[in-house]
Amino acid sequence: MAKKTKTPWPTQDAMNQIYNMHLWGGKEFDFYSGTGSYDPKIINPYLKAVIAFLESHNNSLVVCDLGCGDFNIGKHLTKYTKKYIAIDIVENLIDRNKNTYKEDNLEFHCLDIAKDELPKADCVILRQVLQHVSNTEIQNVVRKLEAYKYIILTEHLPLGNFIPNKNIISGQGIRIKQNSGVNLLEAPFNLKIEDQKQLGEHILDNGKGRIVTTLYVLNLFNSFY
């Protein structure tokens, strides 16, 4: 059972502000996780690739979605899993998701993924989450990722060559402003993997970078069953 921290959450405050002030747009919505969760050119190829991966495992995987947001993406994936555990740091958002999305194999939890114990699962989905947080928080997450077999990571990266993993203050934009992006395989994170495969790439308009989705296999024998 995942345990909820009792300590203050500065990152939670930043994310609360983003949703409350609609800093990612979508003022017509109660909660809105940004155009990257709604633009068909971005989400349709992503969903096709992730669904194909889940179906290749006969819909038998337990999936932990770290940073599920408004669940406009996750709602399409639940039926391809044995169990879908959706996590976000914004409590009001999780309460809303619990009331909006109800399926027998679906759970929602409000957790700080950098501080709290995470649920057991076969596969983690991290979709444009780490790009918003500091290196210290990413390092805390990476230590926990070693318990999972598969990671499906999506990050907003610059075009061309760049210096990875420049530090930022959580909730204060993303590394693209510094011509940087998150690469878990590089210092200071140095995630150890068995294999990797790029599942998709979307080039954004006006040279604003690219959104890349990568499947990492951490340990072929690392299953909690």
Q: What is the pLDDT of residue 7?
A: 45
Q: Are 199 and 48 in contact (CB under 8 A)?
A: no
Please state whether the predicted TM-score (pTM) of the whole model is above 0.85.
yes
Whether 221 shows a pLDDT value over 80: the answer reads no
For the chain, the domains span 10-217
Cα 45 from Cα 63, distance rounded (Å): 19
Decide if domain 10-217 falls under CATH 3.40.50.150: yes
More confident residue, 180 or 206: 180
Rounded Cα distance, 161 and 197, in Å: 19
The rounded percent of the chain whose pLDDT value lies above 70 is 93
- Give me the residue label for tokens 């500091």: 134
Cα distances from 55 to residues 62, 74, 102, 198, in angstroms, run 12, 15, 22, 17
Residue owning tokens 């690469």: 183
How many Å apart are CA 125 and CA 64, to the nearest integer? Answer: 6
CA angle 22/182/108 to nearest 5° reads 50
Please provide the DSSP assignment of 14-56 as one string: HHHHHHHTTTTS-TTSSS---GGGT-HHHHHHHHHHHHHHHHH
Cβ atoms of residues 212 and 162 within 8 Å: no
User: How sure is the predictor about 220, in pLDDT bands with cuts at 50, 70 and 90?
Assistant: low
130-189, pLDDT tens digit by residue? 999 999 999 999 999 999 999 999 999 999 999 999 999 988 889 999 999 999 999 999
Per-residue exposure over 206-217, b if at least 16 CB sit within 10 Å of its own CB, e if not:
eeebbbbbbbbe
**Count of residues for the chain?**
225
Query: What's the rounded mean pLDDT across residues 54-73?
Result: 97
Q: What is the mean pLDDT of the chain?
A: 91
C-beta pairs of 84-87 under 8 Å, 24+ apart in sequence: 85/109, 85/119, 85/121, 87/111, 87/113, 87/118, 87/119
Residue 211 to residue 195: CA distance in whole angstroms: 20
